Structure 1
């Protein structure tokens, strides 16, 4: 139906929705009848596929996530589901899909910026950026399905999100956290803190897993995806070829590393090789104890019966271990930060650290993981001060030797003019 209203043209039609009800679609603001007719023809032409089932942004978001779930990782699906339920559906879900202009979307996102998170704080710029990424991915799929002519999420203006810097837990920060609950967004233990944790869990059956993460910086999925065939005891090397991920249905699946740089060879020190030999012997004992119930999965880190470990289980276990030993809280992923920070402050070249961690960009390694440990920072301050004060001391001890030739001449003339005492 085409009609003129207040000098502008609009069209209206009805379409089916996902719940079987009919929904009225109304779109206006066209200055010419021909423009309204062209938009209506485009809408009707694309109604043969998904449009009778998708009328609003919310309905498309649900259909998009349903179609995407089989090929996505478990954690990605959880993130998308959270973004839809908490933010996108309440703020843009009722907008008619074909009526989603950049202006309307910007207005909705501006309102979203005032939304508070679960802790009662305004949403962080980084959170807004991630929500936009989810919406942009969904609307790009709508463009490919010819439900939209362009993606309005590309034109959104959002607050800049500064890169998160790594903070080292110091005794002062730890005490402040105890008193106020305040903690850095990304925190790592000091050398002493990492050593304290590894010493506390050295008898745990998965000690070798935490040792690898803390010293060599493997990601959670990477360390769980390691197989004994990836380890070269003689050459002292470990190949990262895959990662273990939890699927949306609850099962486990192996997939390639996060990026091409993630597929790498990690050098191992003698201590780490001995830790892995001890772990292998422990696993062999568990295999004998399990008998026919053993699952020959080939993975390096398994349950007591040989089955692969679920990533969520390891995250929960690490959190409980940290809590039980009264250590400053960090995430399992932050052990990766600890490993890179230790390497940088031990004098390892940043390019070598980048390869060890598996980053594609050297700047990422420098910006995120090259935190300066307090002891190193104090050592640098003392060295700079010693250099300066050493120069001052030499100038004083040298007497006139520290003066310029002109100053020496002036001092000599002054002595000649000095009258003798009577």
Structure 2
């Protein structure tokens, strides 16, 4: 489960990092794999895995924090920087199945196709690549350990890649031949 607290500098700086479960909740093998990562507020993040957020997302996060703080104050709780961004009304961490249940409930009130909550991740990846975002950037945003994973999973959403590559090579060759002829 990936959790972030408001104190997290990623939120304050309008960027995010891939969070991992707390070390106590992880297996020995997973903890050994975390060498080279640094701890922040008891959670694990990979170094150098910043994800920029757009202004609209930052504005929504700020509005969400304000609503969340107001609700917690009504309950007599004092919100602080360690409060979770996605949390229950009382500030306790949200269980993944609760998010899934709420997703199904909200989706059921619409005419949208029924997809799993996790499928939003795949949609995001597909939209990035279809919009021309470089696969390396998409790979980093998704938290994949290598660009190869991203390309193996999502290259089908870039059907014109071979044709585009051939066209770019052709343009480069024509430019080289043209400049060579002009030089003579």
TM range (shorter): 0.5 to 0.7
CA contact (8 A) 1:230 1:239 kept: no
Alignment of 1:259-408 (within 5 A): 263=46, 264-292=49-77, 298-372=83-157
**Quick one: structure 1 residues 235 and 280, their matched pair in 2 at CA, closer, same or farther if it must change by over 3 Å?**
same
Deviation above 3 Å: which 4+ runs of structure 1? 231-235, 253-257, 259-262, 294-297
Partner SS state of residue 16, structure 2: strand
What's the counterpart of residue 8 of structure 2? 230
The structure having more radius of gyration, on CA atoms, is 1
* Partner Cα separation in structure 2 for residue 300 and residue 254 of structure 1: 20
SS at match of 2:88: coil
2:11, 2:5 → 1: CA distance? 13
Question: Cα 1:323–1:295, aligned 2, differ >3 Å: closer, same or farther?
Answer: same
Residues 239 and 266, structure 1, Cα contact 8 Å, conserved in 2: yes
Give distance in 2, aligned partners of 1:318 and 1:344. Answer: 25
Q: How does 1:87-102 map to 2 (within 5 A)?
A: none
Q: Is the 8 A contact 1:341 1:372 kept in 2?
A: yes
Which structure exhibits the higher relative contact order, with contacts defined as CA atoms closer than 8 Å and separated by 6 or more residues?
2
Q: CA RMSD in A?
A: 3.1
Residue 372 of structure 1 and its aligned partner are, at CA, apart by 2.1
1:298-340 C-alpha deviation (Å, 9 max, x unpaired): 2111111111111111111112222221211211111110111
Deviations 1:54-97 (A, max 9, x none): xxxxxxxxxxxxxxxxxxxxxxxxxxxxxxxxxxxxxxxxxxxx
Which has the larger displacement, 332-341 or 263-272? 263-272
- SS for the counterpart of 1:365 is helix
Aligned equivalents of 1:314, 1:235: Cα separation in 2: 26
* TM-score, normalising length: structure 1: 0.31
* Cα shift at 1:233: 5.2
Alignment gaps of 5+ in structure 1:
1-220, 245-252, 388-422
Q: How many residues end up aligned between the 2 structures?
A: 146
Secondary structure of the corresponding residue to residue 17 of structure 2: strand
